[in-house]
Amino acid sequence: MKKSLLSILFIVFGCAVFAQVDRTKAPEPGPAPIINLDEPQSFTLKNGLTVIVVENNKLPTVNMNLFFDVPPFVEGDKAGVTEFFGSLLRAGTENYTKEALDEELDYNGIDLFAGSQSIGISTLKKRLPTAVSLMKEVLFNPTFDNQGELDKLVTQSITGLKSAEKNPDAIMGRVNAAVTYGTDHPWGEYATEETYQNITLNDIKTHYNTYFKPNIGYLTIVGDVTFKEAKKLVKKNFKKWKPGEIPAFEYAVPENPGNAEIALIDLPTATQSNIFVTNVQDLKKAEGDYFAALLGNHVLGGSSFAKLFLNLREDKGYTYGAYSSLDNDHRMRSTFTASAKVRNEVTDSSLMEFYEELNAIVNKPLTKEDLKIAKSERTGRFALGLENPSTLATYARTIFREDLDGNFYSNYLKALNDVSASDVQKAMQRYIKPQNSRVFIVGKAADILPDLQAMGMPIKFYDIYGNETGDPTQKVDVGDVTAEAILGKYLDAMGGKEKLEAVQTMHMTYGSFIQGLDITIDMKAMVPNKTSLVVSAPGMGELQTMKFDGTKGSIGGMQGSAEFDEKQNMDTAARHAMFPELTFVENLENVQVDNIVEVDGQKAYKLLFSLPSGLEEERYYNVDSGLLVKTVTVAESQGQQMISTSIISDYKAIEGIMTPHKMVTETGGMVIDMSLVKGTFDEGVTEADF
Amino acid sequence: MKFKYFLPVVALFFAFSASAQQVEFVEYDLDNGLHVILHQDNSNPIVAVSVLYHVGSKNEKEGRTGFAHFFEHLLFEGSENIDRGEFDKYVSSAGGVNNANTSTDRTYYYELFPSNQLALGLWLESERMLHAKVDNKGIETQREVVKEEKRLRVDNQPYMQAIFTDIPAQLYKKHPYKHSVIGSMEDLNAAQEEDYKEFYATYYVPNNATLSIAGDIDIEQAKKLISDYFSDIPAGTTEIPRPNVVEDPITTQVVDTLYDKNVQIPAVLYAYRTPKQTDKDAYTLQIISSVLSDGQSSRFVKNIVNDKKLALASGSFLNAQEDYGSFIIYGLINQGVEVEELAAAMDEEIVKLQENGITERELQKQINNLEKQFIQSNRSMAGIAESLADYHVYFGDANLINTELDRYREITVEDVKRVAKQYLKSNQRVSSTVYPGDDSKTSN
């Protein structure tokens, strides 16, 4: 009989060997290698362009990168210009259309890259002249007249924003920056649908005319060129380039709160809490304690062997990963951040562990072993990084830009090695401020708030755009308005109860566009409770169907077919096929007025409907118009809950009945944006449709 | 007068040999059969240590698919002298990085270290080869990790089910290439102690491995260390099985309709069986693939995507392998376009290639691009170590690292036409259409 896998305790492969070396322990490293940090050569043209040359003839290739040290600035109502800039810079020049440029680059095997503060090429040495002339063409002769390219970028970016609307990472990035720096700060502002749409080709051109100037330019040339060759090439091509005046800006100085506080962003669909414990700080490379700070953060959260990871993941199992980062910037304050994504129910426990580790790194000196390993890991990273010759060029540029001591990088490893445990502790006390942190949490407030409140830290609430709000779980006083009145107002606004009751059938066709497919959603209904929904696409037929014949329902299509379960049958059978309010208004004991909330910027009553199955449905009615503006339904399938949210708008009358012409439904991470194509009442729908 | 030219000629000669950028290396075998390749480059204090085992998913027995890749995971668990979980820690605290990967034909492990840690790298790799150790907890843990990897890379990725599972199963009827590298989770669950021992004893032996090292080393010192750590590892005692399977030609087009829950956009896929990677025609197919889809100005991107707007994306790739390869052409349908319309446009491009071939300029463009890719693949020590090992094991000549481009340069526009006609015939292919939907409905 074969042994089952479970009975195997150990599998030892191979056999014992008398080795020539002691295999029982890891070999000691050899003497620390000498790191070759040849200083790159550099010079500056009269127009201010700084040129850095790293000669490296290991491969017959050359990389040229022209970087503009553009000061951070506020884009305001045109936020997004810098995102689009690079694509538009290379979308057509005086002598090349975009297509001709593509062909010329592809034929010569030249990579050309462009961004809002850089342009560069990567080429074989023998095609350097062609590469330089194409780079010059894009740099000096862009036409900025490719409206088609701009339109494409706007559409793509808006689609991107929409698909990221409930993405916890996107929300964290935006709110964290906006609250820490303020939205009038270059690092705090963010792009929206509106700001993208405000952008014109002229704005792109203005950015070019303002910032693509040699006096803030650093041209790094790396590869198979001598300094002499490089100098000649630069003089020939960039000498005549005229400098320009670069605007200067003042920035607001961000401050930490007097006491640590929680900034909670409610995301009702979140299954995890995204936690960022942050403070602003002044770390700069030029500071004497830079290396101590680097090592301290490394021990705290710089790898998968660091304190945060070992505690929150390996020991507690709260998360897949926990890390920290300590940024530095030569112009302004940057941030320290410790972060993890954790299960909802351990949000408060995780926060306590974060504080445990942050307080420890600030209050206790590192052990010798921790410090030694951290030095070794950072030394290795530095050495491995030097394999790429561009690293040397970047270092040289950093010395210029941040006005560092010329030996900053050549002394790097010595400086790391000289750091003591008490140096680290002092640096941690200076840059990490657990008692003055902001703790950003993007999560489901209803689940996590009570535990967070029990921790005793002050809590502020923000919406997903960084605006401060009230407690999202707190109910507004709805006054003495009754469910009966709200439903009555709705029925009146729709066209009147009698009119709705007289309708026998309904047929609504909506169009949508999902992931490159034109979709048609065909909805039919018949009194008392028959419904049908068919999703189809041209050339592909029916993608999905959902039908209810009055007693039983089924789902079909490419996703497989299934019968409604008992609960679904029960709930669907009990409600009016077209206007469920007609049913609920007769069963007011099942309706509860819950709250007043904002839906699309307008006040709405939130009503809770108890369904026969025991499930609950949320329906929201605009306080002023009375119309239904939002629904949240829960379906259960195999123990899994599926929440689907619809935002309903653009009501227009069809045969005297107010009919929504727009519906945006979000379910299972997918957003379906539907527009009414055709709607009729009492026309053409028969029993056979169900 | 004669002398006047002498100096410049010499200078030219040196200039030429310098720009040829030869990758120098030495190679030899230990008595136990371990092949060693060393490349010395002292310009940066780093070293790449790698071991290539000539075993991949094509060596798996029926009923044990996924085993080669699973083994790669298990061999990070530890050894007689390395406790569970310590393998990665040794690398990291020495300032290094490491990883591994598995394909149909090979399993590859590597570390990148500051060069004073060469001995550590050799110790780790020799421990892995000599007496790796896996306990039950390790097996259970890694099985979960592999399942997670399968979910991440295959189950939850659009089209991957078609490319890794459905198409190979149609292209190959006998050859083990019919299975995906990730394999089946049932097979992994069914594995027995004997399976593990046998796999290790058969394939993880020095005579089935190549140790390739590149970087800041001293050749003689490295040889001594290699001998210390590897020479006592016993050679394998069983013959190493290699599949020797000849597939029957495909003579009528196989039409597949597939459904994929991760897919939102229908796709048309054509897959052709192609010769082994050492065949000259495989090189020509690489050129063809570039003509069709490399860069914004390539035929598929320019004609089908940008001009006719029939596809959101369209292109091709050659999957080069040791015994057979596959050439895959794909198109993701644009909104409002019928599947047939896109398929017809893709067919038209192939027919155009077969009937009219390509221009000299198009061929030159591909050579220009390959030249750059080829040179850039030697920019890192990790890349050089890997290329040397690959060229040695699969092409029998490590020096191809310096000369492979010549094989492409020999290709003519006539070759391109002939190869397109010979291998890209519609009656020799698998034609799959992938629709959004539940994969249980897939019918072959």
Pair A567, A427 in one domain: no
Q: How far apart are CA A152 and CA A162, in angstroms?
A: 16
pLDDT bucket at A63, cuts 50 / 70 / 90: very high
* Same domain, yes or no: A191 and A71: yes
One domain, residues A359 and A437: yes
Question: Is residue B158 reached through a cis peptide bond, with omega within 30 degrees of 0 on the bond before it?
Answer: no
Q: How far is CA A41 from CA A65, A221, A405, A537, B167, in A?
A: 15, 10, 16, 62, 55
For residue A33, list chain B residues with Cβ-Cβ distance below 8 A.
Answer: 45, 114-116, 216
**Distance between CA atoms of B245 and B50, rounded to whole angstroms?**
30
Cα(B39)–Cα(A356) distance, rounded to whole angstroms?
48
Q: Name which of A61, A377, A540 is nearest B92 (Cβ-Cβ).
A: A377
Residues of chain A above pLDDT 70, percent: 95
Contact A61 B90 (CB under 8 A): no
Q: How close B30 gets to chain A, by Cα (Å)?
A: 15
How many beta carbons lie within 10 A of that of residue B152, not counting itself?
Answer: 10
Q: Is residue A666 part of a domain?
A: yes
Q: Return d(Cα A287, Cα A283) in angstroms, integer.
A: 7
Q: Residue A132 belongs to a domain with what CATH number?
A: 3.30.830.10
Q: Do A384 and B197 touch (CB under 8 A)?
A: no
pLDDT score for A644: 84
Return residues 147-186 of B near A (CB < 8 Å). none
Are A487 and A462 found together in one domain?
no
Q: Would you state the pLDDT for residue B3? A: 33
E strands in A392-540? 438-443, 459-462, 468-469, 505-514, 517-526, 530-537
**What DSSP assignment string belongs to A138-177?**
HHH-B----HHHHHHHHHHHHHHHHHTTT-HHHHHHHHHH
B125: pLDDT confidence band, cut at 50, 70 and 90?
Answer: very high
Instruction: Enumerate residues 47 to 106 of chain B having a beta carbon within 8 A of any beta carbon in chain A.
Output: 80-81, 89-90, 92-97
Residues A585 and A607 both lie in one domain: yes
B25 and B212 Cβ atoms separated by less than 8 Å: no
Q: Does A100 touch chain B (CB under 8 A)?
A: no
For A559, the closest of B126, B376, B437 (CB atoms) is B437
Mean pLDDT score, B251-263: 87
The minimal CB distance from A13 to the residues B131, B298, B441 is found for B131
**pLDDT tier at B14 (50, 70, 90 boundaries)?**
very low
Same domain for A438 and A500: no
Please give the domain boundaries of chain B with CATH numbers for all domains: 23-230 (3.30.830.10), 254-441 (3.30.830.10)
Does one domain contain both A576 and A678? yes
A27 in any annotated domain: no
Give the DSSP letter string of A240-299: TPPP-PPP----PPP---SS-EEEEEE-TT-SEEEEEEEEEE---TTSTTHHHHHHHHHH
Are A217 and A290 contained in the same domain? Answer: no
Would you tell me which residues 348-377 of chain B have a C-beta closer than 8 angstroms to some C-beta of chain A?
A: 361, 364-365, 368-369, 371-373, 375-376
Residues 404-423 of B with CB under 8 A from A: none
A568 has a pLDDT exceeding 90: no
Answer with the one of A238, A269, A303 that is the final residue of a domain.
A238
Partners of residue B131 in chain A, C-beta under 8 Å: 12-17
Is B237 an 8 Å CB contact of chain A? no
CATH assignment of the domain containing A586? 2.50.20.10
| Residue A250, in any domain of the structure | no
Clarify whether residues A378 and A422 are in a common domain.
yes
A480 touches chain B (CB under 8 A): no
Token couple for A339: 């972060």
Instruction: Report pLDDT digits (tens) over A196-218.
Output: 999 999 999 999 999 999 999 99
Q: Which of A27, A58, A381 sits opposite B95 (nearest CB)?
A: A381
SS (H, E, C) A592-641: EEEEEEEECCEEEEEEEEECCCCCEEEEEEECCCCCEEEEEEEEEECCEE
Q: Which residues of A touch B194 (CB under 8 A)?
A: 2
Tally of domains within chain A: 3
Q: Answer yes or no: do A521 and A434 share one domain.
A: no
Q: Are the C-beta atoms of residues A655 and A502 closer than 8 Å to each other?
A: no
Contact A543/B339, CB-based, under 8 Å?
no
**How confident is the model over B390-415, as pLDDT tens digits?**
999 999 999 999 999 999 999 999 99
- The C-alpha atoms of residue A7 and residue B150 are separated, in whole angstroms, by 26
Q: pLDDT at residue B259 above 60?
A: yes
Select from A206, A238, A270 the last residue of a domain: A238
The answer as to whether A15 is a domain residue is: no
- Residue A539 is predicted with a pLDDT of 72
Residue B239 has phi, psi (to 5 degrees) of -70, 140
Question: How far is Cα A676 from Cα A685, in angstroms, rounded to an integer?
Answer: 18
Distance CA A170, CA A167 (A): 5
Q: Least CB-CB distance to B372: which of A4, A34, A124?
A: A124
A684 occurs within a structural domain: yes
* CB-neighbour burial class of residue A650 (10 A; exposed 0-12, middle 13-18, buried 19+): exposed
For A345, the domain range is: 261-469
Q: Domain check: are A279 and A422 in the same one?
A: yes
* DSSP structural state of residue A25: S
A688 interfacial to chain B (CB closer than 8 Å): no
- Please give the ipTM for the structure prediction: 0.81
For residues A330 and A286, the answer to whether their CB atoms sit within 8 Å is yes
Residues 6 or more apart in contact with residue B170 via CB below 8 angstroms: B254, B256, B271, B430, B432, B444
- What one-character DSSP code corresponds to residue A528? T
The mean pLDDT of B377-381, rounded to a whole number, is 91
Return all residues near B52 (Cβ < 8 A) that are at least 6 apart: B106, B107, B108, B209, B210, B212, B386, B389, B390, B393
Q: What is the pLDDT of residue A543?
A: 81
Q: Residue A50: is its pLDDT beyond 90?
A: yes
pTM here is 0.79
Shared domain for A273 and A364, answered yes or no, is yes
State chain B's mean pLDDT as an integer: 89
A-chain residues within 8 Å CB-CB of B436?
Answer: 543, 558
Distance CA A483, CA A566 (A): 28
A355 in a structural domain: yes
Name the minimum distance, in Å, from the CA of A438 to any CA of chain B: 32
Distance (Å) from the C-alpha of residue A539 to the closest C-alpha of chain B? 6
